[in-house]
Amino acid sequence: MAVPVGLNVWSRLVERTFPYLDRTAAPFDSLWMPDHVQYDGHPVAEGWTLLTWALARYPDKRVGHEVLCNSFRNPAHTAKMVATAQALSGGRAILGIGAGWNEEEYRAYGWPFPPTRVRIAQLAEAIQLIRHMWTESPARFKGQFYEIAGAVCEPRPQPMPPVMVGGHGEKYLLRVVAEHADWWNYSFRDMPTYVQKQEALKAHCREVKRDYDSIEQVVRFGILIADSEGEIERVKARPGTRPLNDIHLIGTPAQVTEAILAAIKQGARRLTVNFADVPHPEGAWLFSSTVLPHLR
């Protein structure tokens, strides 16, 4: 089975985002944008603007976020923005969304930062509201956190964009995936942890009577790839290489291929990849020429 593979870009690229994508995006089926406004003093670009520009710049690609922070935008407005992007792009928009986590951004921009459980409950309610906006006009919704009355969302999104929920919290977040997500976005760390999260999701699916196999698993791999062990060490040591705490797959093309095929065998149905050597294109080029053929 061919597995779609998308390219994820690093939020800190900013002005280098599109020059990097221009050199690397061609072999990938989709592009995935970050959604941060600031962290740790690094300059970052705003996520929704990145997505709309990418949809226009790469007309052969589907584009989504990995993932939007629900707290940053009113969900009714999010629904309208996604519907508009879907119409203008000819159906290439994907709604990737999560509960948010980076307290620094909330405090700096004046957004309330409730406890994790509350943010996850807000996410669940936001997804329900968004789907009301996409399917009913005028739409009405009254929940614990959000309310709309007579909201019109035109043009209606056709086809309906998939709703991808990102995260791995076993007690609450994966419950939202079971109840509301079309796709589940999981950032890969290692195989035992992936299996553990799958089992937690299966349990939630049983409780809510959801077909576990109906949820497409989108697994993101942070990758450092090079032709040899010596070259791997050189890239690790090079100034500007991405911090390795987000890079959990390090190896030669054969090693990277083996690990990814194991994840596919375990249930991954879509992949996204980001590379430790950005903005250098060599990692993406090597992956495209040596690993992608084994996934198609």
pTM: 0.95
> Which pLDDT belongs to residue 42?
85
Q: What are the tokens at 149?
A: 């009355």
- Stretches where the chain sits below pLDDT 70 are 1
Q: Could you give the CA distance from residue 127 to residue 106 in angstroms, rounded to a whole number?
A: 21
Nearest Cα neighbor of 31 from 68, 63, 67, 65 is 63
Q: What is the pLDDT of residue 33?
A: 97
- Measured between alpha carbons, how far is 11 from 33 in angstroms, rounded to an integer? 7
> Domain tally for the chain?
1
Among 131, 134, 8, CA closest to 61: 8
User: Quick one: pLDDT at residue 234?
Assistant: 95
Q: Which residue type sits at 120?
A: I
Let me know the angle formed at the C-alpha of 66 by 61 and 70, rounded to the nearest 5 degrees: 120
Asked whether the beta carbons of 63 and 81 are under 8 A apart, the reply is no
Inter-axis angle of helices 17-24 and 47-57, nearest 10 = 40
Residue 277: which CATH number? Answer: 3.20.20.30
d(CA 116, CA 172) in angstroms, rounded, equals 9
Looking up tokens 């596919």 gives 264
Give per-residue pLDDT as tens, 29-87.
999 999 999 988 888 999 999 999 999 999 999 999 999 999 999 999 999 999 999 99
Residue of 138, 90, 100 lying closest to 120 (CA atoms) = 100
Query: What's the pLDDT at 53?
Result: 96
Which residue range(s) make up the domain with 26?
Answer: 5-295
Give the C-alpha separation, 4 to 218, whole Å: 9
CA dist., res. 176 & res. 113, Å (int): 19
Q: Are strands 30-33 and 62-65 parallel, antiparallel or unpaired?
A: parallel
